[in-house]
Amino acid sequence: MKYLISISYDGTNFYGFERQKNKRTIQGEIEKVLTIINKDKVEIKGAGRTDRGVHAYDQKAHFELKQNVPIERLLRAINSRLPSDIRINSIETVSDEFHARFDCIRKIYKYYINTNEYDIMKNNYLYNYNKKLNINNMIKASNYLLGAHDYEVFVSGERENYNSIIESIDIVDNKGVLEFTFTGKSFYRYMVRNLMGALLLVGEDKIKPEQVKEMLDKKQNIYHFKTVPACGLYLMKVEYNQVK
């Protein structure tokens, strides 16, 4: 039987989602629990990877068990064994053909920047930037990033291709805590954090909004944006057309 799970986690004390030898990871912790329940090795396949320190409200993954376990019983069994910084929100059965990664049609990420005074209690959960930014220019710059593009300049590491579609980038100022919402088809390694780094240059008035488009078109980090910290990044939702 194949199952799809929704996962929330506080990424502070993890080395990311993907299983790593001798490292504490979300995938590793969940697989340990499922293997105990299944009495045989279980591997989960995530909708994507999140990096060390990144949080999630609705990461998705699928796995298979030897037997058909009732959903509610399985949910209780998993959560009772997981550490307190991981929680399974829901479980549903899916077809044998379903794949959490390849069937994904949309992901939503949020990034939080604190432009107010330094807040030590939230240091693991947002970017304590602690300076004012030119939000209007950041909004203008974000519009150049929308649509279908080759995002190579904003992706770390090598891939066969860097093509994706960003449907929207919304920016809201919540009394000095800026909330950036990225909605799109695929986000590759460090992509949201690098996009944020470029937008920060605009917000600091170090470059003009149209110079973000220049970097996108030339596929070169000619204005030297930096990757922002992982702690402010959250995977909010992973969506599918239809789950069976």
pLDDT of 44-75, one tens digit each? 999 999 999 999 999 999 999 988 889 999 99
In the chain, the amino acid numbered 35 is T
Instruction: Kindly list the distances between the CA atom of residue 231 and the CA atoms of 71, 81, 152, in Å, as whole numbers in the listed order.
Output: 32, 26, 23
Q: Enter the pTM of the model.
A: 0.95
Do 11 and 50 form a contact (C-beta atoms < 8 A)? Answer: yes
Q: Which residues are known catalytic residues?
A: 51
Which pLDDT score, from 0 to 100, does residue 243 have? 61
Which pLDDT score, from 0 to 100, does residue 244 have? 58
CA-to-CA distance for 60 and 91, rounded, in angstroms?
Answer: 10
Which pLDDT score, from 0 to 100, does residue 14 have? 97
Sign of CA dihedral 213, 219, 222, 228: positive
Which pLDDT score, from 0 to 100, does residue 68 have? 82
Instruction: Kindly list the distances between the CA atom of residue 65 and the CA atoms of 32, 34, 136, in Å, as whole numbers in the listed order.
Output: 13, 8, 51
DSSP conformation class of 40 = S
Segments of the chain scoring below 50 in pLDDT = none
- Domains in the chain, start-ordered, CATH in brackets? 2-102 (3.30.70.580), 105-239 (3.30.70.660)
Do 16 and 49 form a contact (C-beta atoms < 8 A)? Answer: yes
Which pLDDT score, from 0 to 100, does residue 69 have? 85
pLDDT tens-place string over residues 157-173: 889 999 999 999 999 99
CA-to-CA distance for 51 and 53, rounded, in angstroms?
Answer: 6
